[in-house]
Structure 1
Amino acid sequence: MTDFSQCDEVLAEVRGGVGLVTLNRPRALNALSLPMVRALTAALKRWSDDPLVHAVAIRGMGKEGPFGAFCAGGDIRFFHTAALSGDPALEDFFTEEYALNHLIHTYPKPYIAFMDGIVIGGGMGVSQGASHRIVTGRTKMAMPETGIGLFPDVGGGYFLSRCPGRVGEWLALTGELLDGEGAVAAGLADVMMESASLPSAWDALSQIDWQSPASLGKWVATFSIATSAGAISARPLIDAIFAGKDVSTIVQALDSDGSEWARATLATLHKRSPLMLHVVLEQIRRGRDMSLADELRMERDMVRHCFTTRHLARSGASSETVEGIRALAVDKDHHPRWSPAAIEEVTPEMVEPFFDSPWPAAAHPLRHLA
């Protein structure tokens, strides 16, 4: 293995002209830490300029060996601890993670993501920019950040807003879990493979003749399997209801529809942070017309406001995000005390400042993204 930054939670090697990365934190479902972000960034930057490396592939280590779990997001326990202690590494994490997401989206070589098992939050950030996004029957994909008082970051405002119809709004607000076929239907994956074939597919990458332009396509064709059309059965309702002008309109439409799907979706929304539901809908709508770099800069502004919501005189333990993480992952009581407590109590004056940058353009931490 090639050691790029003294991080044993990211295993990196070059074999057969392919840079191979394994996220190696299986007990935490490969949740990303700052050292992992730095190790992955270092490997990708080195390989991008290496003429002997023709492509990159990434997978996660499962509890019983490679595959079975991709990445469960960022290390939210670290977020909680760092926010309460004022640790500046929290700021570094988001700046460097978003820069890594941009690097992957703009990578000059094929980048192949094996999204087997859990693919949540930060796991989407290191896979959605891939040229080849592979899912399986074990894939469980989601951006569930509204459940912890956050928003779908790591470029979520960019890639979710580009899902067909209003699927992006639906996924961003509800945090709905997609299987492999649903991910393909949502435009968040390119091909499906059998989980059992992944080790063979991984090893076969090192046997590709990279001098032949058609070789990678042949590799995909060899291992991919068919998916069912129309895997998101509620698409007509999603497109009709989640086109609503604001969260209150969406909630009213769900309540009026009365179908089993609408009732379940409404129940889900009532568990999410009311404030962040409004913020997230605005994020997706803005992101639809933004470049990736600009959208990531917007997210960097937003995440600062999540932990230090000055316009609401809230920070640290009183912030929506720290409270959401407390309820889910620290105390595990699953009863976050959201503020405001109800969707109809959120005002535009609470939402709009999330999109004001704390930095002048020349000093923005992501100003160098092109």
Structure 2
Amino acid sequence: MTSPLIPQLQSEGQILAEVNGCLGLITLNRPQALNALSLAMIRDLTALLKAWAAEPAIQAVAILGQGREGKPAAFCAGGDIRFFHQAALAGDTALEDFFTEEYALNHLIHRFPKPYIALMDGVVMGGGMGISQGARLRVLTEHSKLAMPETNIGLFPDVGGGFFLGQCPGHTGEWLALTGHPIAAGDAIEMGLGDVYVQSSVLPELIQALRQGPQTSAEHVVATVMERVDLAPTPDHRELRQQIDRHFGAASVEAIMASLAADDSEWARHALATLRKRSPLMMAVTLEQVRRARTLSLADDLRMERDLVHRCFHLRPGAASETVEGIRALAVDKDHAPRWNPSRIEDVTPEMVAAFFQSPWSAQDHPLSDLA
């Protein structure tokens, strides 16, 4: 639908935009890739949100993911990791642009001056969390599956992950960051990563009402959602909170793993087995990231994460990068046998971790220096 309120978009249909009354509606339209974000999509989202923030006729924004007929739902499965792999090996500067522009978009969403509503049906991972956690209203269904699984590819939970995971109760943020464990609606709401629950059977009617019903004010848009809200399911991990806090509150990754090893419960064995598959170096970086982020503003956290992601691809360039190796094993060769370096948590030194946190830029030259 063309409208003078919609700027020219560049992503060749990967982002769909429409206006209904005072509502701007965005659909992530890359369903075959679970709506994973490309650089063109990030640029279109940024252009739309900046235009709509300044447009008095637009009073609220809603965002959803395009579904696939007969397939499970996906809001957004993250960033395009195959692009990361190709760009890193080719020395393509578009990789740097991707992270700078993605993190600036995350900040824009958190600071958006009008109600921004994320319909987080299905898979919401990585970059999908980045474009939903800043929403004024985060809507979940029984199919919602939230995770920050970056340690699985030798990365860290970026897109503001330090900021929003650091705000989770107790040490659940460390648990989610290190393991990448997915959580459902009940846990997400209890941990502060979601707001309301709507049954998926009601979602088509809700989307239809947003798309075609009379939307005359921001209050009416929000009411359209809230009148369909239901009681959220019981959290799956409520009974495990004491265990999570005890183990994941330990001083280091090595201490967390030792603590889990001393616990004979099935949950602890599973958590330890998960950690043993991750990059020891990037787990240590991730733990430091989440704990530093607890004392940082969102803007300062995103600047720190921009430093970290630069180091992920440049401290050891090309195939020597833990991230490039992790993506290779998961998504390129698919052998699921990453060759981490070092291979043992005992061999990760404080100096190795500290190198990731040294910014390659001065404060005024930082690519995210203008974030307020």
Amino acid at match of 1:335: A
Amino acid at match of 1:297: R
Query: Sequence identity of aligned pairs in percent?
Result: 60
Length, aligned pairs only: 365
DSSP-derived class of the 1:257 partner: coil
**In structure 2, what is the equivalent of residue 95 of structure 1?**
100
Is the counterpart of residue 199 in structure 1 residue 204 in structure 2?
yes
After superposition, where does 1:133-282 map in structure 2 within 5 Å? 133-205=138-210, 207=213, 210-211=216-217, 213=219, 215-216=220-221, 218-232=223-237, 233-282=239-288
Q: CA deviation at 1:169?
A: 0.3
From 321, 324, 331, the equivalent of 2:323 is 321
Q: CA deviation at 1:141?
A: 1.1
Is the counterpart of residue 5 in structure 1 residue 6 in structure 2?
no
Amino acid at match of 2:55: D
- 1:107-162: CA deviation from partner (whole Å, max 9, x where unpaired): 00000000101111000000000000011111111101001000000000000000
After superposition, where does 1:34-45 map in structure 2 within 5 Å? 34-45=39-50
Change (3 A) 1:155 1:55: same
Change (3 A) 1:227 1:23: same
DSSP-derived class of the 2:367 partner: coil
**CA distance in structure 2 between the partners assigned to 1:345 and 1:144 by the alignment:** 23
Q: CA deviation at 1:216?
A: 4.7
- 1:8-49: CA deviation from partner (whole Å, max 9, x where unpaired): 100011112101000000110011000000001000000001
- 1:52-111: CA deviation from partner (whole Å, max 9, x where unpaired): 101000000111299921101000000000000000000000000000000000000000
Change (3 A) 1:148 1:67: closer
Is the counterpart of residue 111 in structure 1 residue 144 in structure 2?
no
Aligned alpha-carbon RMSD (Å): 1.6
TM-score (norm. length: structure 2): 0.95
DSSP-derived class of the 1:114 partner: strand
Q: Any gaps of 5 or more consecutive residues in structure 1?
A: none
DSSP-derived class of the 1:341 partner: coil
Q: Any gaps of 5 or more consecutive residues in structure 2?
A: none
Amino acid at match of 2:241: R
- 1:172-195: CA deviation from partner (whole Å, max 9, x where unpaired): 000001112221122100011111
From 331, 336, 339, the equivalent of 1:337 is 339
TM-score (norm. length: structure 1): 0.95
Amino acid at match of 2:67: G
**CA distance in structure 2 between the partners assigned to 1:202 and 1:228 by the alignment:** 22
Q: CA deviation at 1:274?
A: 0.4
- 1:184-238: CA deviation from partner (whole Å, max 9, x where unpaired): 122100011111211211232354664584x455334311110244432311100
**CA distance in structure 1 between the partners assigned to 2:195 and 2:326 by the alignment:** 32
Instruction: After the TM superposition, list the runs of 4 or more consecutive aligned residues in structure 1 that deviate by more than 6 angstroms.
Output: none
Amino acid at match of 1:258: D
**In structure 1, what is the equivalent of residue 136 of structure 2?**
131
Q: CA deviation at 1:239?
A: 1.1
